[in-house]
């Protein structure tokens, strides 16, 4: 139980450092650590399939994309555009208002039961695979089309236009 | 594995909601305080991840696997979104020599 709170505090700290560090490369590295703590959260929930997918997709694929683009564009602390302090303070106040609203609406919910894994097998690959390929077969196939579309779109967008260049 | 399963017993569901709300808010603040388009996309990733975790927690709480399948779809969507978004950022950088989102204001008419 204490493991959850420890990891939760770590996630919050690293998420804050992600958005407040001035150097974009440091931001990406803090984001990697944040995603790693999320993987630990999935392991704690015994969602093993999600833990593995989170690790591979976020820490592997998405982080490489971010780091690659950051280093390709050669961004660093000197070129980093920053907003004025007034805008920053107003943004933080607005964000805290949002948080207060969310927590306030949480008070309407009656006191919650602890998360008890009724069926610890639920997050295992075997069980999830059965659900995925029986009930959610059509959305699964459609998501493959989505990924294909995204790939084609990304190539088309990032490609140099030969007529212009 | 038993130790892991026993470890989570006792964390109230409200604390999961609270934690996810905090991470989501950090993402929202990140979108508002930064001008670097790449870091804005990173903040969006933070928001998506907080929602994912909450879905997984509810799925474990209810004993229903559909929530975790949904998280899987959101992850596929996030991967597609990042690929297209970064391609757009590279294109904008090629045209304006900057990833400052204020330089995008020339797109308005």
Q: What is the pLDDT of residues B50-86, one digit of tens each?
A: 999 999 988 888 888 888 899 999 999 998 999 898 8
In the predicted structure, residue B47 carries a pLDDT above the cut 80: yes
Q: Where are the domains of chain A?
A: 2-158
Architecture of the domain delimited by A2-158:
Up-down Bundle (1.20)
Nearest to B67 by CA among A50, A121, A114: A50
Helices B66-96 and A137-158 pack at an angle, to 10 degrees, of 10
The answer to whether the CB atoms of A81 and B36 lie below 8 A apart is yes
What's the rounded mean pLDDT across residues A66-92? 81
**What are the tens digits of pLDDT across the range A19-72?**
888 888 889 999 999 999 999 999 888 888 899 999 998 888 888 888 888 888
Cβ burial, residue A47 (10 Å; 0-12/13-18/19+)? buried
**With 0-12 CB in 10 A as exposed, 13-18 as middle and 19+ as buried, what is B7?**
middle
> At the top level of CATH, which class does the domain B2-99 belong to?
mainly alpha
Q: Which two tokens stand for residue B74?
A: 């959101």
Calculate how close chain B gets to A116, using CA atoms only, in Å: 5
Q: Which residue in B18, B74, B83, B88 has the most chain A C-beta atoms within 10 A of its own C-beta, making it the best mutation to test that interface?
A: B83
- Reported as a pLDDT band with limits 50, 70 and 90, residue A78 is low
Q: CA of B55, closest CA in chain A: separation in Å?
A: 11
ipTM value: 0.87
- Rounded Cα distance between B46 and A16, Å, is 11
Rg for chain A, CA atoms, rounded: 21
Q: What is the pLDDT of residue B23?
A: 94
Q: What is the mean pLDDT of residues B101-107?
A: 75
Mean pLDDT of A65-88: 79
Lowest-confidence pick of A154-163, B33-42, B44-53, B79-88: A154-163
Whether chain A has a CB inside 8 Å of the CB on B3: the answer is no
In this prediction, residue B51 carries a pLDDT of: 93
The C-alpha atoms of residue B76 and residue B66 are separated, in whole angstroms, by 16
């Amino acid at each position: 139980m204490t493991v959850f709170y420890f990891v939760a505090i770590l996630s919050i700290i690293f998420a804050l450092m992600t958005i407040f560090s001035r150097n974009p490369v440091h931001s990406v590295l803090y984001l990697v650590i944040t995603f790693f703590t999320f993987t630990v959260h999935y392991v704690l929930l015994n969602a093993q399939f999600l833990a593995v997918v989170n690790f591979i997709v976020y820490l592997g694929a998405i982080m490489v994309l971010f780091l690659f683009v950051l280093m390709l564009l050669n961004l660093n602390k000197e070129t980093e555009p920053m907003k004025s302090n007034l805008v920053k303070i107003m943004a933080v106040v607005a964000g805290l208002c949002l948080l207060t609203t969310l927590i306030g609406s949480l008070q309407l919910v009656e006191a919650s039961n602890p998360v008890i894994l009724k069926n610890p097998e639920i997050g295992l690959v075997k069980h999830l695979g059965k659900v995925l390929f029986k009930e959610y077969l059509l959305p699964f196939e459609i998501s493959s089309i989505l990924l294909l579309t995204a790939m084609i779109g990304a190539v088309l967008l990032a490609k140099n236009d030969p007529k212009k260049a | 594995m038993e130790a892991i399963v026993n470890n989570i017993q006792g964390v109230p569901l409200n604390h999961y909601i609270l934690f996810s709300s905090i991470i989501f808010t950090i993402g929202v603040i990140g979108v508002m305080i930064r001008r670097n388009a790449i870091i804005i996309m990173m903040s969006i990733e933070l928001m998506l991840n907080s929602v994912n975790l909450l879905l997984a927690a509810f799925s474990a709480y209810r004993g229903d696997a559909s929530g975790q399948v949904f998280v899987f779809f959101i992850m596929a969507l996030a991967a597609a979104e990042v690929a297209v978004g970064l391609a757009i950022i590279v294109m904008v950088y090629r045209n304006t020599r900057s990833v400052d989102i204020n330089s995008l204001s020339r797109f308005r008419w």
